[in-house]
Amino acid sequence: MKKYILYPLFALLFALSFTACDKDDNNESVEINFSELQVTTTSKTANISIVSPHVIENGALQQVRSVGIRYHMVGSDEWINAAAVSTDPEHYVINLDGLVPNTEYEYIAWVATDTGTKFASAARFTTQDIALEANFGDMQLSLTGEGLRLSVASVKVLVDEKATDPDSFGAEYRAKGASQWIALTNATAGANGGFTINIPASDLTLDTTYEARAWIEVGGARVYSQRTAECLYEKSKLQDIMGEWRLAEWHDSADLPFAIYLAITADGKFTLWQQLQSVEWQKFTGTVELNDNVVTGVYSDGQAWSASYNVERDGEKMIWTAATDASDRSVYVPATIPNELSTMSISSATRSTERFL
């Protein structure tokens, strides 16, 4: 915060006095004394503290009825009146909000007495620039079936130390060591202010390490993440099954009595979301392997999948057929995992003896 201590606190004997601006034709003598007048600013606010206002008119001390200011942006003809709130008989406070950052304002303090309102000399203060901070949570750049994906777990934005929502967010990427950053578009918002954003394979070169950084904007000001996420773009053994999927057909039927989502990453990890007989979703994780177009998996608790599956691709569709039962045929289609599922906790192994895989 920026403080303007315009009238320091002196003993009353040495209090600064201001000649009122509204002398009448009789040349009456009016003096306004403040033992302290202090202005503290942020980018959009000003706090004005007035201590011990005194009005002496024709040598007589007047009773103070109210205190305030008139103010305007320098260069504007529109004056705004703001009355002070008394915190005690000798201390008055005025809080101004909605000011323009990095802008000079002019103000005139006034004191109302039984004989009228007396105005002090004009003074000025300047608001600060926006104090913008952004704290980015965990960031990961990972391989997908369609290229790379930057995932930002969370973003906390502060403007003048107050939490706020960003006006926009996004990211940039480049081959590691390159001088030019490339803008990314079409970010997808997630929970806790986080987001994901994809880099298509057509914009990438195999066997190249890429780095990405996130950013947010508020009021035209942009803040970048202080760290970057890195990933080597290479063809994975799991290339044909990587990504996020939704079960669209099972046993040659699209009329499913349950719902399944499946995510497989380049490092051989899977996440399964299932909603079987219960209306409650369950989430399981584990590892997956693909050898000679046969996929197998093991849950994190050590339980193996109930079957291994032969994998086929039909355009964007991924077809899994159980190696021991040709009728056990599952068709998956690309999908985005809903936020409420991706952020849910891992299910306990004791909650269900039945698992889809």
Q: Rounded CA gap, 38 and 288, in Å?
A: 66
What's residue 334's pLDDT? 93
The answer on 267 and 211 residing in a single domain is no
| Same domain assignment for residues 8 and 114 | yes
Residue 312: strand, helix, or coil? strand
Asked if residue 351 has pLDDT above 60, the reply is: no
> What is the percentage of the chain residues whose pLDDT exceeds 90?
56
Q: What is the CATH number of the domain that holds 107?
A: 2.60.40.10
Q: For 117-131, 170-184, 218-232, 339-353, which range has the lowest pLDDT when averaged over its residues?
A: 339-353
**221 is a domain residue:** yes
7-16, 96-105, 170-179, 308-317: least confidently modelled range: 7-16
Asked which of 102, 126, 150 is the last residue of a domain, the reply is 126
Q: What is the pLDDT of residues 257-268, one digit of tens each?
A: 899 999 998 888
pLDDT at 325 over 60: yes
Mean pLDDT of 271-282: 87
pLDDT at 17: 41
Q: Are residues 58 and 146 in the same domain?
A: no
**Which residue range is the domain that position 252 belongs to?**
243-342
Q: Are 212 and 182 in contact (CB under 8 A)?
A: no
| Over residues 339-355, mean pLDDT | 73
pLDDT score, position 258: 92
Q: Are residues 115 and 138 in the same domain?
A: no
Per-residue pLDDT band for 349 (boundaries 50, 70, 90) equals low
Confidence of residue 19 (pLDDT cuts 50, 70, 90): very low
Residue 295 has pLDDT above 80, yes or no: yes
pLDDT over 90 (residue 96): yes
Tokens 């009228």, residue?
116
Cα–Cα nearest to 231, from 262, 264, 198, 202: 198
pLDDT in tens, 190-239: 878 899 999 998 899 989 999 999 999 987 888 999 999 999 988 878 88
Confidence grade of residue 25 (pLDDT, cut at 50, 70, 90): very low
Confirm whether 348 is domain-assigned: no
Same-domain pairing of 14 and 107:
yes
Identify whether residues 8 and 84 lie together within a single domain: yes
Q: Is residue 357 part of a domain?
A: no
- Quick one: 6 and 70 in the same domain? yes
206 and 171 together in one domain? yes
Compute the average pLDDT of residues 146-172: 90
Tally of structural domains, the chain: 3
Q: Find out whether 73 and 103 touch, Cβ atoms under 8 Å.
A: yes
Shared-domain flag, residues 12 and 122: yes
Judge contact between 84 and 93, C-beta under 8 A: yes
Local structure of residue 227 (DSSP, 8 states)? S
* pTM exceeds 0.75, yes or no: no
